């Protein structure tokens, strides 16, 4: 089994959720992610929201492309990736409580409307059965996924394709 994530000794990181009253447009989502990324003490972030499919999945137009204006490339920390959801909630893992208020202030300066801000348990800290089903019990060398990288724990989507699973914004260490 993989140990729980711990940062600098016995401290365990805490998790907070930013839940805006509205679904964010890509520009606002990009600003929010960039501001939060600059807050020292942020370990990892998970974004969730309604999907923006690139093809019609059912009905008379099955297979035809969907040109949704909100599905576009955004830049976070100098890394570009395709935003294929509309950001509805954001879960952030931080090192300790001293980062919590800085994170709230960063979100408040970007979001022009109210949002819920709560502490809780949102992201898994141990490998789940889905992690093992997707990646195996040992780290694979044929893929860029490594279960020894504790930032990946609990972030798998069992229905996602390999290229759409996880977007890492900083290079991982070589193991």
pLDDT computed for residue 147 by the predictor = 52
Cα-trace Rg, the chain: 17
pLDDT at 165 over 70: no
* Ramachandran assignment for 41, one of left (phi > 0), alpha (psi -120 to 50 degrees), beta (any other): left
Model's pTM, two decimal places?
Answer: 0.74
β-pairing verdict for 42-48 and 79-83: unpaired
Tell me which of 102 and 9 has the higher pLDDT: 102
17: number of Cβ within 10 Å: 19
Angle, CA 34 vertex, CA 160 and CA 12 arms, to 5° = 75
Handedness of CA 132, 133, 136, 141 (dihedral sign): negative
Are 21 and 77 contacting, i.e. CB atoms less than 8 angstroms apart? no
Among 6-10, 31-35, 63-67, 120-124, the minimum mean pLDDT is found in: 6-10
The ranges assigned to domains in the chain are: 1-123, 127-175
pLDDT in tens, 100-147: 999 999 999 999 999 999 999 888 777 777 767 766 655 444 455 555
User: Shortest CA distance to 121 belongs to which of 10, 14, 12, 2?
Assistant: 14
Note every long-range contact of 106-109, with CB atoms under 8 Å and residues 24 or more positions apart, other chains counting. Answer: 106/35, 106/36, 106/38, 106/39, 107/18, 107/32, 107/35, 107/36, 109/35
- Mapping DSSP to helix (H, G, I), strand (E, B) and coil, where does residue 105 land? helix
> Which CATH code for domain 1-123?
3.30.70
Tell me, what's the pLDDT at 40? Answer: 93
Dump pLDDT digits (tens) for 43-91: 888 899 998 888 898 889 899 999 888 999 999 988 888 888 899 999 9
């Amino acid at each position: 089994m993989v140990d729980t994530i711990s940062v600098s000794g016995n401290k365990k990181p805490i998790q907070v959720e930013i839940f805006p009253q509205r679904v964010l447009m890509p520009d606002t989502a990009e600003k929010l992610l960039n501001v939060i990324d600059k807050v020292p003490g942020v370990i990892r972030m998970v974004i969730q929201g309604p999907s923006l499919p690139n093809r019609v999945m059912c009905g008379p137009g099955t297979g035809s492309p969907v040109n949704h204006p909100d599905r576009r490339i955004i830049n976070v920390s100098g890394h570009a990736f395709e935003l294929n959801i509309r950001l509805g909630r954001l879960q952030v893992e931080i090192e300790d409580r001293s980062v919590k208020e800085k994170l709230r202030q960063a979100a408040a300066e970007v979001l022009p409307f109210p949002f819920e801000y709560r502490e809780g348990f949102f992201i898994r800290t141990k490998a789940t059965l889905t992690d093992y089903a997707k990646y195996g019990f040992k780290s694979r060398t044929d893929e860029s996924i490594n279960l020894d990288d504790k930032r990946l724990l609990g972030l798998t989507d069992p229905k996602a394709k390999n290229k759409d699973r996880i977007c890492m914004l900083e290079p991982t260490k070589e193991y």
